[in-house]
Structure 1
Amino acid sequence: MWWLISVGAIAGAGAGWCARRTASTFVGNRTVRCGWCESLCAAGVAVTVWCGVLGRDPEPALLPVAALFWWWCVSLVATDWCARRLPNALTLPGFAVIVVLACAAGRAPAALVGGALLATVYLGLHLCAPRSLGAGDVKLALGVGAAAAMGGGGAWVWAALLAPTFTAAAGCVALVRARWRRSRSTPDAPSSPNLPHGPAMCAATVLALLATHLP
């Protein structure tokens, strides 16, 4: 088991390197720091493989699928965090690939319904408050909703609920930090936090799917 987890960590590091290079093509002059994409993907793929080994029905294609999924998520997280955007070149093809994988696993109806439901919810929120939820979040909801639905209804619900919870918690921390900086007369302290929602969506989906693989 440990050799497979080690291979997963190495494959994840490679996926993280690719994710950093991918994000760098979308963030313009801003720099994606070296190391954190590789570390996150290495740990993520290793944990995913570990959960798959412990699961009741280990899948032989888990390692390459996990590396691909973590590359996609980390590419989106890095791009949204650095540039506050979720490119169509990542969100929509990602949804298409997830649907193809769902078809191969015999879970296409669940993936399509899950993606459509979450995207519909996000579309309604975007129309009501376009400044708080962008169109890129709506498109990303297709992919993460489809991916979460492949883990079952429970995974989909947890992914849908955890994403806004993570963003709200991060917003509270950022708001407290901004007020503390203003109290110390820091001139460049922002008056209100401007946090991307994409990282929370990806993190919630990953955690929900990992929980479904545990025995």
Structure 2
Amino acid sequence: MNTFQMIKAILVLTIIGFIAAFSLSFMNRLTSESIAKQDQEKKLLSLPLVLPSYAIQKENTVTIDDQPFTYWEASKEENKVVKKAWAFIAEEKGYGGPIQSIVGIDDTGKILGFTILSQSETPGLGARCTEITSNETFFDHFFKRNITNTEAIQWFQIQFQGLDTNKPLNILKKGDWNNTIKDALLQQNAITAITGATITTKAVTLSIEKGAQKLKKALTLHEVKQ
């Protein structure tokens, strides 16, 4: 191969490499934008679930502890009194990776709703954090009770409703959540852990506790700016 042929081959390979790199970069950008759009849509669709009966007013993203923190302001009128509420993104590392959720709280710090947005926990264990089950109990089946208001529920997520974020969120081992243990758990500001998935359970409660503290900081910053 003479010098001209070598230069020609190098140029061809360089051009091919450039085109391949450009195509890969372009596809990655398209994919990233698509994923980001889907994530945002999922968050917006989840807002009515965690802030039931509230009207969403505004989305905010601020820097708290050198990290971006996103939260939403909401309000509703009740007996001619305007009540405020907020939703925020909570995230903490679980057993298999980050667990991201969206949490709604009222102006007293009580959780109005909680939904897990993404997780990569172990199937059959930590992944049960998004499990859907019936609200019927073993005794309902055993005594063949005629339950007319049965519904599919996300048992792990629903138990956060009513908990106070101003206090530590406790974890008890009571088996899968059901209506018979609801009041006892609320009195202790607690949830029941996922059997065999303590790390997942702790990651979720910790993410909510941290998120609630970040929200307080964000609201304080907002008041200072005003």
Whether these two folds match at TM > 0.5 is no
> Higher helix fraction: Structure 1 or Structure 2?
1
Structure with greater contact order relative to length (CA < 8 Å, sep ≥ 6): 1
> Higher strand fraction: Structure 1 or Structure 2?
2
The TM-score, its normalising length taken from structure 1, stands at 0.31
